[in-house]
């Protein structure tokens, strides 16, 4: 603490994010002691060094948090001070940092400030007054947005709802000291003394069904809403005690442990190839402007990357350019549009530092293109394929410059989906891998590193789930029962609803491309071919596995039940009743077992990449931590026993237990 005239300035500087560690709390408590004892200090300012305000708790240390952590009591002490104290906020003020600011007697922010209560994303709720002070200052609606939905707001929004008193004009420190002087000598404005909003009950009850639907098995959003509701009906101190108790219980929950695991796993996978040098990527070329290629162009330009978009043929180019410009027209994204150069000439890619191939999944076409790109691209340029399953090593060989070639697999829609698989071939240079991992982060993606195999991580595991879904139909399950079980598990939708969304024609094309790799049983389970022949092409055609009404809502279709029954009769398959437990286990454990094989084969460095890939690639429920984390929680002995039983029932060809799974189960070890 230092004094500027009659204003004490308390500065917190705890790199990298000013986490509210025990040391920070102790230091702040000592500074408050000094402020209270200093008669010449009539007001105080709390500000932070670095890139932002206090960021809340240290996530890596949360398992060791005691039942009575120091921050809530410290925040209560700030609010109870007899001399006014002002929060001066720059950058992010998140979690406990925002809760501390809410307890101050005034708040001023820089224009770059952001405000949020992201605890819900980690299976938590605010535990230091966030659900009680925020509605008193800014209203129930903003509190639901931040504490229940985990959103953030900027400084302008915070000012408009009363969360802050002012946005600083000029340097924040000087503006904060001047503002603090206006508070000096006045009774502190304690947030706890403000009333709850009169419309609180109506807004909470209106939000409740939406929150429950969106939660899909997560408890934290419901707990946060309940804490807000409790505060509407109870005195502040009771509501604060309730919030603290619920927050500690949430911290100890499996949901929070799983979500914190994913948070830290994302940071661990960043370290894959992090030690290698990188190449400079200023300009990126995209060749192949179908749906995926157009999405990649949008993602690149939106991230501020100069992009060369190449289609093979003027007509294809015109269609792609029109589609992208239409997508950008509504938000008025002129900055992104200005970054894209359009061409139908491969030679335009000669200036690119990275070329991303995104043509159709035909190996003969891709190898021809990579042979051409090998001669066109400048020395040192990286050639990356967006293939979802083809052999990167074969493409690398075709290019004549294998060290420069890797996979860079985006997920559809590429401008929305955050996951990218970076695929290192046998000859891929380490600096190419490191460059692509870093570049993915630069454009706002989460990158995981995979070796070369059929389908890499996501599609290899998804193929096993899809295979089991079709086999379950043959054996007696309804597609609607399968989807209900998977949606009940926490996925956004089941495999058959997902198939309708992707398009039956798209799935059939992929099946044809992989025909030489299908087993006899997989060829027999030709449901996609049957739907295609019947003109049931999915949601956009109005019928696929489901029938879609004028409102677009899916409904079970008796024709599908007849088709599935006829298939069994035609192939002499005796159908049986299949329970929900078997449906769940066969679909989920198929992915767990295959994930263990990825680890055994060295395709991934460890289970982190699999969990991140499945959560962000196909919507594996985040609150369960990913398939490998989930399997650990179920107990690998039981998992291995079930997989071994399925191997006996279904045949080793489909259910050969992974050696690593069996070994971990036998030696009482886990994936984590």
Q: For residue range 621-663, list pLDDT tens digits in order.
A: 999 999 999 999 999 999 999 999 999 999 878 899 999 999 9
CATH classification at residue 40: 3.90.226.10
Could you tell me which of 229, 214, 17 has the C-alpha nearest to residue 120? 214
Output the 3-class SS for 299-340. Answer: HHHHCCCEEEEECCCHHHHHHHHHHHHHHHHCCCCHHHHHCE
What's the CA gap between 320 and 337, in Å, rounded? 13
Q: Are residues 336 and 475 in the same domain?
A: no
DSSP 19: B
Query: Taking the alpha carbons of 429, 434, 439, 445 in that order, is the dihedral positive or negative?
Result: positive
What is the DSSP code string of 279-290?
A: ----EEEEE--S
Please check whether residue 262 lies inside any domain of the structure.
Answer: no
Residues 243 and 129 in one domain: yes
pLDDT value for 271: 87
Residue-wise pLDDT for 116-132, tens only, equals: 999 999 999 999 999 99
Cα torsion angle, 148, 154, 158, 161, sign: negative
On whether the CB atoms of residues 536 and 479 are closer than 8 A, the answer is no
Domain boundary residue, one of 424, 453, 482: 453
The pLDDT assigned to 285 comes to: 99
Range list of H helices, 420-538 = 430-442, 458-475, 479-489, 495-502, 504-513, 520-524, 527-533
Query: The CATH number of the domain where 408 resides is what?
Result: 3.40.50.720
| CB-CB contact of 215 with 221 (8 Å) | yes
Distance between start and end Cα atoms, the chain: 43
Q: Does residue 111 lie in a domain region?
A: yes
Position 274 scores a pLDDT of 74
Count the neighbouring beta carbons within 10 Å of the beta carbon of residue 141.
16
Q: Of the candidates 159, 158, 130, 155, which has an alpha carbon nearest to the alpha carbon of residue 71? A: 130
- Asked whether residue 645 is assigned to any structural domain, the reply reads yes
3-class DSSP assignment, residue 490:
coil
Amino acid 364: pLDDT: 95
Cross-strand bridge partners of residue 554: 548
Contact between residue 420 and residue 410 where contact means Cβ atoms under 8 Å apart = yes
What is the C-alpha separation between 7 and 41, in angstroms, rounded? 5
Q: What is the DSSP string of 28-47?
A: HHHHHHHHHH-TT--EEEEE
Q: Are residues 221 and 344 in the same domain?
A: no
Question: What are the C-alpha distances in Å from 645 to residues 175, 628, 640, 642, 648?
Answer: 69, 19, 9, 5, 5
Task: Determine which of 267-271, 317-321, 651-655 has the lowest per-residue pLDDT on average.
Answer: 651-655
Cβ 419 vs Cβ 571: under 8 Å: no
For Cα atoms 554, 209, 125, give the angle at the middle one, nearest 5 degrees. Answer: 125
The residue range of the domain holding 605 is 457-672
pLDDT band at 67, cuts 50/70/90? confident
What size, in residues, is the chain?
672
Report residue 649: phi and psi, to 5°. -80, -40
**CA–CA separation, 107 vs 89, rounded Å?**
7
pLDDT, tens digit (0-9, with 9 covering 90-100), for 335-389 = 899 999 999 999 999 999 999 999 999 899 999 999 999 999 999 999 999 999 9
Whether residue 513 is predicted with pLDDT greater than 90 in this model: the reply is no
In percent, the amount of the chain with pLDDT more than 70 equals: 100
Specify burial of residue 427 (Cβ count, 10 A radius: 0-12, 13-18, 19+): middle
Q: What residues are annotated to the active site? A: 57, 96, 99, 119
End-of-domain residue from the set 438, 453, 468: 453
Is residue 440 situated within a structural domain?
Answer: yes
Claim to verify: residue 318 and residue 407 sit in the same structural domain: yes
Host H or E run for residue 54:
none
Nearest CA-CA partner of 463 in 495, 422, 509: 495
Across the range 148-171, mean pLDDT stands at 97
- Whether 288 and 412 share a structural domain: yes
Domain end marker among 416, 433, 453: 453
> Hey, is 3 helix, strand or coil?
strand
> Nearest Cα to 641, choosing from 666, 624, 660?
666
Rounded to whole angstroms, the Cα distance separating 207 from 144 reads: 8
Rounded Cα gap, residues 428 and 447, in angstroms: 17
> Does residue 390 surpass a pLDDT of 90?
yes
pLDDT class for 65, splitting at 50, 70, 90?
confident
pLDDT at 652: 76
Let me know if 198 is exposed, middle or buried by CB neighbors in 10 A (0-12, 13-18, 19+).
exposed
Residue 289 phi/psi, 5° resolution?
A: -120, 45
Mean of the pLDDT values across residues 52-58?
A: 87
Report if residue 274 sits inside a domain.
no
Residues 397 and 472 occupy one common structural domain: no
Dig out the tokens for 141 from the structure: 């609606």
Q: Smallest Cα–Cα separation from 258: which of 607, 605, 600, 617?
A: 607
For 462-495, write each residue's pLDDT tens digit: 999 999 999 999 999 999 999 999 999 999 999 9
The residue with tokens 């603490």 is: 1
Helix (H) or strand (E) holding 58: none
- Return the residue matching tokens 């040391």: 23
Residue 564: the pLDDT is 95
Dist. CA 54–CA 52, nearest whole Å = 7
Same domain, 448 and 479: no
**Whether residue 440 is found in the same domain as residue 470:** no
At residue 157, the pLDDT reads 98
591 Cβ contact partners less than 8 Å away, ≥ 6 residues apart: 461, 462, 464, 465, 614, 627
Chain segment 239-267, per-residue pLDDT in tens:
999 999 999 999 999 999 999 999 999 99
User: 212: which 2 tokens?
Assistant: 């429950």
Count of domains forming the chain: 3
Q: Which strands, in side-by-side order, build the sheet including 43-48?
A: 2-4, 7-12, 43-48, 85-89, 106-109, 166-167
| Two tokens, residue 88 | 């001066």
Same domain, 462 and 432: no
Question: Is 492 a member of any domain?
Answer: yes
Residue 517 has pLDDT above 90, yes or no: no
Question: What letter does residue 171 receive in the DSSP assignment?
Answer: -
Cα separation, 426 vs 391, whole angstroms: 11
Q: What is the pLDDT of residues 322-332, one digit of tens each?
A: 999 999 987 76
For position 473, which CATH number holds? 1.10.1040.50
Whether residues 40 and 118 share a domain: the answer is yes
Q: DSSP secondary-structure letter at 543?
A: B
pLDDT at 498: 94
Give residues with Cβ within 8 angstroms of 272, minimum separation 6.
433, 437, 448, 449, 605, 609
Residues 539 and 616 reside in one and the same domain: yes
597 has a pLDDT exceeding 80: yes
Distance CA 175, CA 155 (A): 15
Q: What is the pLDDT confidence band of residue 29, given thresholds at 50, 70 and 90?
A: very high
Nearest to 596 by CA among 609, 587, 585: 609
Answer yes or no: is pLDDT of 398 > 80.
yes
- Render pLDDT for 407-417 as a digit per residue (tens, 0 to 9): 999 999 999 99
The pLDDT, as a whole number, for residue 64 is 83
Q: What is the per-residue pLDDT across 527-585, written as a single tens digit (0 to 9) for each?
A: 999 999 999 999 999 999 999 999 999 999 999 999 999 999 999 999 999 999 999 99
What pLDDT band is residue 60 in, cutting at 50, 70 and 90?
confident
Judgement on whether residues 461 and 449 belong to the same structural domain of the protein: no
């Amino acid at each position: 603490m230092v004094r500027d005239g009659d204003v004490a300035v308390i500065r917190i500087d705890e790199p990298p994010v000013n986490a509210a560690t025990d040391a920070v709390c102790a230091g702040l408590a000592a500074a408050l002691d000094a402020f209270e004892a200093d008669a010449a200090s009539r007001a105080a300012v709390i500000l932070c060094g670095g890139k932002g305000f206090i960021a809340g708790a240290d996530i890596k240390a949360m398992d060791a948090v005691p039942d009575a952590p120091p921050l809530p009591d410290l925040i209560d002490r700030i609010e109870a001070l007899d001399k006014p104290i002002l929060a001066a906020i720059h950058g992010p003020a998140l979690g406990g940092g925002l809760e501390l600011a809410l307890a101050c007697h005034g708040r001023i922010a820089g224009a770059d400030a952001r405000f949020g209560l992201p605890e819900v994303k980690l299976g938590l709720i605010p535990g230091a007054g966030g659900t009680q002070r925020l509605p008193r200052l800014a209203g129930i609606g903003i509190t639901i947005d931040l504490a229940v939905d985990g959103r953030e707001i900027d400084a302008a929004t915070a000012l408009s709802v009363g969360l802050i008193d002012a946005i600083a004009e000029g340097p924040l420190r000087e503006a904060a000291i001047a503002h603090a002087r206006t508070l000096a000598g006045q009774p502190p404005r304690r947030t706890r003394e403000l009333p709850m909003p009169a419309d609180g009950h109506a807004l909470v009850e209106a939000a409740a069904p939406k929150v429950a639907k969106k939660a899909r098995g997560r408890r934290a959003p419901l707990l946060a809403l309940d804490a807000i509701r409790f505060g509407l009906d109870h005195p502040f101190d009771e509501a604060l005690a309730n919030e603290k108790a619920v927050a500690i219980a949430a911290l100890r929950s499996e949901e929070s442990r799983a979500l914190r695991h994913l948070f830290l796993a994302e940071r661990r996978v960043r370290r894959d190839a992090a030690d290698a040098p990188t190449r400079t990527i200023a300009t990126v070329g995209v060749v192949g402007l179908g749906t995926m290629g157009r999405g990649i162009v949008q993602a690149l330009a939106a991230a501020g990357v100069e992009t060369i978009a190449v289609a093979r043929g003027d007509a294809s180019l015109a269609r792609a350019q029109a589609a992208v410009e239409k997508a950008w027209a509504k938000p008025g994204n002129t900055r992104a549009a200005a970054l894209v150069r359009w061409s139908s000439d491969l030679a335009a890619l000669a200036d690119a530092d990275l070329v991303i191939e995104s043509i159709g999944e035909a190996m003969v076409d891709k190898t021809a293109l990579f042979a051409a790109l090998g001669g066109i691209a400048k020395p040192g340029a990286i050639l990356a394929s967006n293939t979802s399953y083809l052999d990167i090593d074969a493409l690398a060989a075709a290019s004549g410059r294998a060290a420069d070639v890797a996979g860079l697999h985006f997920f559809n829609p590429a401008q929305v989906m955050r996951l990218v698989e970076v695929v290192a071939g046998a000859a891929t240079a380490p600096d190419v891998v490191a460059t692509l991992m870093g570049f993915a982060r630069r454009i706002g993606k989460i990158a995981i590193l995979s070796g070369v195999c059929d389908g890499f991580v996501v599609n290899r595991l998804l193929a096993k789930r899809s295979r089991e879904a079709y086999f379950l139909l043959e054996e007696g399950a309804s597609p609607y029962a399968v989807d209900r079980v998977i949606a009940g598990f926490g996925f956004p939708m089941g495999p058959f609803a997902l198939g309708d969304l992707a398009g039956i024609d798209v799935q059939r094309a992929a099946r044809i491309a992989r025909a030489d790799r299908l087993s006899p049983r997989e060829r027999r389970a030709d449901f996609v071919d049957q739907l295609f022949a019947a003109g049931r092409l999915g949601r956009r055609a109005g019928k696929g596995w489901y029938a879609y009404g004028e409102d677009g809502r899916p409904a079970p279709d008796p024709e599908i039940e007849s088709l599935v029954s006829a298939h069994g009769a035609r192939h002499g398959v005796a159908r049986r009743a299949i329970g929900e437990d078997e449906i769940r286990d066969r679909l989920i454990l198929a992915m767990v077992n295959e994930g263990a094989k990825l680890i055994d084969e060295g395709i991934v460095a460890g289970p982190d990449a699999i969990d991140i890939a499945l959560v962000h690639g196909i919507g594996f429920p985040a609150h369960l931590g990913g398939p490998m984390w989930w399997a650990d929680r179920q107990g690998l002995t039981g998992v291995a026993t079930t997989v071994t039983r399925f191997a006996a029932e279904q045949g080793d060809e489909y259910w050969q237990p992974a050696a690593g799974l069996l070994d971990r189960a036998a030696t009482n070890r886990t994936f984590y």
